[in-house]
Structure 1
């Protein structure tokens, strides 16, 4: 895989652009803090890109399935670069509306680029190397998040916002150039001009019968829910723990611990799930995530909060590459674009709802009660999946016994 030119180009571009993305996110927060007093309006502006992605996801999925993935990534790359100029206008004029346009363009490009990249990986990497590729992908994004946020923080102190977004623009240009040198052979898809207009429910109706037949895909979707419960409130919980311990420095420790443990988790995923991703192991990982969430009721103890975030990073680093590999291998390639687009759309909706719930619960019942409630919910989800898996296993064994 390390001799695979296409894979190296894609990962290099992803690493550079992801670092630039996180530098830009730091810039977004700084600009909003200076120009928008209302926290609610700040949240709406940040969510604008997610919202437009939700509406475009069905159309994006169908276009990705019909079209050349490389061309989609190139067009999305041009859109990202163009978006930075809207941010330049926002900074020069101190008009938030230009930032709204910037956020919308970034959201639209992400709606196309993220599913396209996930559908391209199986085209440039051998099937037996997909788990390694997804692990590397996750490690690069995690590392980029750590480096990008740290770099953005340093740059805010010593440089202007113009300079900060220029770094982001350069990173997007590097991604675009690396994409141009990728060579992927794709069979042209048949296009029927009489196809009905894309919609969420129509696309879901096409995907549901196919997904229902792939039990690993179904289990994988539900096994991610406990991780989403933790991830959606990640930043809010870090802030709350920092206030609880009266220690601003704990934020960096928690982020770093989680990131390092993600790296270790991806290594474990390659060791234990390369040949056969057993559901029993994946369920064990989900129970670890639930345990990590519940254990945060002791977050007033610095060592315990670090252990909790470390456990989550370890489990998430193991689970996500495995589940993504299952999606890429068990979902037919003709449906990849629609599947990953709809999944991304649903993920965004779930994340926003859970993030709002996290903020609400932190304000009303407090961190301790909230993490116990979320942890118990995760245990219930994992237990129901385990119960259904055992029932299904018994039914299959009975069928085998009857055929003998």
Structure 2
């Protein structure tokens, strides 16, 4: 329980709660704004994709900057960038301009491209190695509580107040995040920082690739984390479509709440599963369940089965992602954390964007219920392929055994 006596832990979790409330009230605002202004799902996906593209383009630079700089400074600058981006969205609402919304999407994703890798690199500097699974789980739990509360709050506010209210709340939340970030005390020793700077200058972002070759467990886990993105990348567009299929605006909030609570249950359960099951077992079982949940959305016209599908998905990613994050934080050398997490962030954004565009096109062409069969089949097929690869290369995904460096 020593982790809970650390003020940094509480600051990170409180900051995540406040920022999450701001983020998710804003996301519901985005969906509402696009539903009013843009009829085509594919055009919606293009607009969402522009922001992701901006994050992808700066990815190589981000990793190098994070490894050469103090994590707290990066977090503060990214927080300030979020405030500027909310200003763009307020202008979009007041003018009715889609282009100002595009400016918001680009700027908020640029801020996220710096913020999340810096935070993931900072967590191992704040908590001890044996507490990483607990910290990752609680951090994801708090983010999920904020998501459930933020989406519920946004739904209530939209009934009584204009959409601009959501972004004013976001702005207040991001000011709160800046305050909590400023209170952080991260020990980045001079000796280690100098070592990181020397290493970073020699090869920059590209040095991640030879390091990944020395850590096949990390490489395989990175690839496996891309499978849930088929579901995550299509999540918001699917929620809009399910709402239209069931002719219910209330189902949006119900889906977010169900998935969110199931996710929290997963993050609490995985600590016990980690003591009984191998890491490899945890990752593969829950990736298979994610594919099964996608298939279940064939019954998207049935409210109960829809909610069951999102509950299975939420529980599965609640078990999957904290486990994968511990592998990354323990196995990858700390002096490469900034570049590695930035690389992973960039890779996820590339896949996320491809999925987003594909989702928009498929929803227009074949509809939701046919699309989920395609995505579910792909998820299960990729899982089988990766399992065969692990067996063939004799890779063991055991987070408790540090990877040996190659000679």
C-alpha deviation, 1:120, in angstroms: 0.5
Structure 1 CA distance for aligned equivalents of residues 365 and 91 of structure 2: 39
**CA shift in 2, pair 1:241/1:29, >3 Å:** closer
| Counterpart-to-counterpart distance in 1, 2:64 and 2:302 | 49
Using a 3 Å threshold, how does the CA distance of structure 1 residues 277 and 177 change in structure 2: closer, same or farther? farther
Gaps of 5+ in 2: 397-407
Q: Which residue of 1 aligns with 2:166?
A: 164
- Render the CA deviation track for 1:306-326: whole Å, top value 9, x for unaligned: 222221111111001110111
Once the two structures are superposed, the pairs formed by residues 92-171 of structure 1 within 5 Å of their partners are 92-171=94-173
Query: Would the alpha carbon gap of residues 26 and 238 (structure 1) be closer, same or farther in structure 2, given more than 3 Å must change?
Result: closer
> Hey, what does 1:261 align to over in structure 2?
262
- Contact 1:244 / 1:300 at 8 angstroms: preserved in 2? yes
> Secondary structure of the residue that 1:255 maps to in structure 2?
helix
Maintained 8 Å contact 1:61/1:341: yes
CA distance in 2, matches of 1:6, 1:368: 45
Q: TM-score, normalised by structure 1?
A: 0.87
In the alignment, what sits opposite 2:365?
364
Q: Rg larger in 1 or in 2? A: 1
The farther-off stretch of 73-82 and 127-136 is: 73-82
2:135 is paired with a residue whose SS is helix
Mark the CA change 1:120 to 1:27 in structure 2 (over 3 Å): closer, same or farther: same
The 5 Å alignment of 1:4-43 reads 4-32=6-34, 42-43=44-45
State yes or no: 1:80 paired with 2:82.
Answer: yes
Query: How many angstroms does 1:6 deviate by?
Result: 0.2
Aligned counterpart, 1:398? none
Residues 3-402 of structure 1 mapped to structure 2, 5 A cutoff: 3-32=5-34, 42-188=44-190, 189-190=193-194, 191=197, 195=201, 203=205, 205-273=206-274, 278-393=279-394
8 Å contact 1:225–1:378 — kept in the other structure?
Answer: no
How far off is 1:158 after superposition?
2.4
Cα deviation, residue 32, structure 1: 4.7
Mean alpha-carbon deviation: is it higher for 251-260 or for 60-69? 251-260
Alpha-carbon offset, residue 136 of structure 1: 1.1
SS of corresponding position for 1:79 = helix
Shift of 1:34: 5.6
Does the 8 Å contact 1:131/1:274 carry over to 2? no
SS of 1:185's partner is coil
Residue of structure 2 in register with 1:400 after alignment? none
CA distance in 1, matches of 2:37, 2:247: 28
1 CA distance for matches of 2:187 and 2:117?
18
Quick check: 2:216–2:395 contact (8 Å CA) kept in 1? no
Closer/same/farther in 2, CA of residues 83 and 374 from structure 1, 3 Å limit: closer
CA RMSD of aligned residues (A): 2.7
Structure 1 unaligned regions, length at least 5: 396-404
Aligned residues: 390
SS at match of 1:225: coil
> Which segment drifts farther, 268-277 or 102-111?
268-277
Change (3 A) 1:109 1:245: closer
